[in-house]
Amino acid sequence: MPEPTFEAPPALPIYLDHAASTAVRPEAVAAMEPYLADAIGNPSAHHAAGRRASEALEAARAEVAAVLRAMPEEVVFTSGGTESINAAIKGVAFAQMEAGVGRHIVTTEIEHHAVLYSAQFLERFGFEVEVLPVDEYGRVTPAQVAAALRPDTALVSIGYANNEVGTVQPIAEIGRAVRERAAALGRRIPLHTDAVQVATTHSLDVDALGVDLLSLSGHKFAGPKGTGILYLRRDVPFLELLSGGGQERQRRSGTENVPGIVGMALALRLAQEERDWFVTRTAALRTRLLAAVLAACPDVHVNGHPTEHVPHNLHLCFPELEGEVLVEALDRAGIEASAGAACTSATWEPSHVLLAMGVPLELAIGSLRMTLWSSTTEAEVDYVARQVPLAVHQVRAAAQPAR
């Protein structure tokens, strides 16, 4: 008889937290290197080194603008998604207040905390924040958004895709609904979208989406950390939050991170060029992983919309355990995943997103988010599919009282 053969285990650890951060792609690293080592000029300086840095900066701006189908002067470089979101919401809100337009903000229950906390901050200055409920899948309808608009609405902020459960909102339809309702009110109401989670999976054409502001974060699409993009439509009222040297056309003072911006711009263009392949690849991996976990753990609850979700996000809830404990067990098995958003994991509590979707508290605390990448292999998925049920069993067994 021939000797039995066994599949070699994949190399550990297996990283499945790409919604939190991604590795910088080699092409971006190569593009950044000259500006880290040799091209050291400040892009605001009036000498040859400064001009070289400025030329690189403006080339990156044009590259991003082409992806967004926008004008280069509508692209503002920031330090990341959090700053881009804060600038969009606070910058427009304060400009609208100053112009006497109004102090009414519309958003949803499941937004990233950068959105929700920015809105709460504005309440200290007399703004009224209307937080719309979502359905069981985490979606809001265009009709809901339109119905919330008033003559004093200063801004609407709706995320393109949720960072925890991956549900995608009908942003283009929401954009049309906002424009139609605003026209009926005889005025314009800017629409902002947090697009941090969709740069690898969805179009970022701002005119097709009907958005006036859009936020991106470099390290979510294989660019460097500490880089971000704010698309700001040229005629939208905006009050800058950072004052100083007047960089970014007086909208964001501070010396630009030229190496990071160059790498981010290239990573964004490549992510959009590879979008169809990325979607096909990760959707197949997610389907494979979900089927195996469901077969071994039939009591698992799958969160998010069944079809309208980013393809690489798999968000589950397991009864009778705590998500953080499960994440620790998986980490010991060489699997790096999360119990929710990385930005809140240091002070972990039940997800506001799951609770807003109507997931019971006792189930919400048992959440697990695994986010795949195009580089994830079938062997890695199969290893994870075997380890997750084992970890679930171990955590539940450890939680049982001694007899």
**Residue 235 included in any domain:** yes
Q: Which of 250, 273, 296 is the last residue of a domain?
A: 273
Given the residues 343, 355, 363, 379, select the one marked as catalytic. Answer: 343
Residues 267 and 286 in one domain: no
The answer to whether 317 is a known catalytic residue is no
Residues 71 and 209 in one domain: yes
**Residue 370 included in any domain:** yes
**Residue 109 included in any domain:** yes
Decide if 119 contacts 107 (C-beta within 8 A). yes
pLDDT for the residue numbered 4: 39
pLDDT for the residue numbered 1: 41
CATH number, domain with residue 306: 3.90.1150.10
**Residue 90 included in any domain:** yes
CATH number, domain with residue 258: 3.40.640.10
SS3 category, 168: strand
pLDDT for the residue numbered 343: 47
Q: Which of 273, 297, 331 is the last residue of a domain?
A: 273
Euclidean distance between the first and final Cα of the chain, in Å? 47
Shortest CA distance to 200 belongs to which of 272, 261, 266? 272
Domain range for 177: 26-273
Q: How far apart are CA 99 and CA 251, in angstroms?
A: 17
pLDDT for the residue numbered 39: 77
Per the structure, the count of domains in the chain is 2
Percent of the chain exceeding pLDDT 90 equals 93
Say how many C-beta atoms besides its own lie within 10 A of residue 27's C-beta: 14
Q: Looking up tokens 């007899």, which residue turns up?
A: 403
Decide if 28 contacts 223 (C-beta within 8 A). yes
Residues 321 and 240 in one domain: no
pTM more than 0.75: yes
Decide if 39 contacts 258 (C-beta within 8 A). yes
pLDDT for the residue numbered 345: 46
Q: How far apart are CA 220 and CA 263, in angstroms?
A: 13
Residues 68 and 187 in one domain: yes
Residues 208 and 321 in one domain: no
Q: How far apart are CA 389 and CA 399, in angstroms?
A: 15
Residues 166 and 45 in one domain: yes
Residues 352 and 366 in one domain: yes
pLDDT for the residue numbered 357: 98
Say how many C-beta atoms besides its own lie within 10 A of residue 48's C-beta: 9
Residues 213 and 292 in one domain: no
**Residue 2 included in any domain:** no
Q: Which residues contact 197 (CB under 8 A, 6 or more apart)?
A: 19, 159, 160, 161, 162, 163, 166, 220, 310, 313
Residues 240 and 302 in one domain: no
Write out the DSSP string of 78-144: ESSHHHHHHHHHHHHHHHHHHTTS--EEEEETT--HHHHHHHHHHHTTT-EEEEE---TTS---HHH
pLDDT for the residue numbered 135: 98
**Residue 4 included in any domain:** no
Residues 182 and 156 in one domain: yes
**Residue 3 included in any domain:** no
Q: Which two tokens stand for residue 90?
A: 């606070």
Sheet holding 367-371: strands in order across? 301-302, 313-317, 367-371
Residues 141 and 83 in one domain: yes
The conformation of residue 366, written as its DSSP 8-state character, comes to T
What parts of the chain have a pLDDT lower than 70?
1-9, 341-348, 402-403
Residues 129 and 252 in one domain: yes
Q: Which of 217, 242, 273 is the last residue of a domain?
A: 273
pLDDT tens-digit map of 176-213: 999 999 999 999 999 999 999 999 999 999 999 999 99
pLDDT for the residue numbered 3: 47
**Residue 403 included in any domain:** no
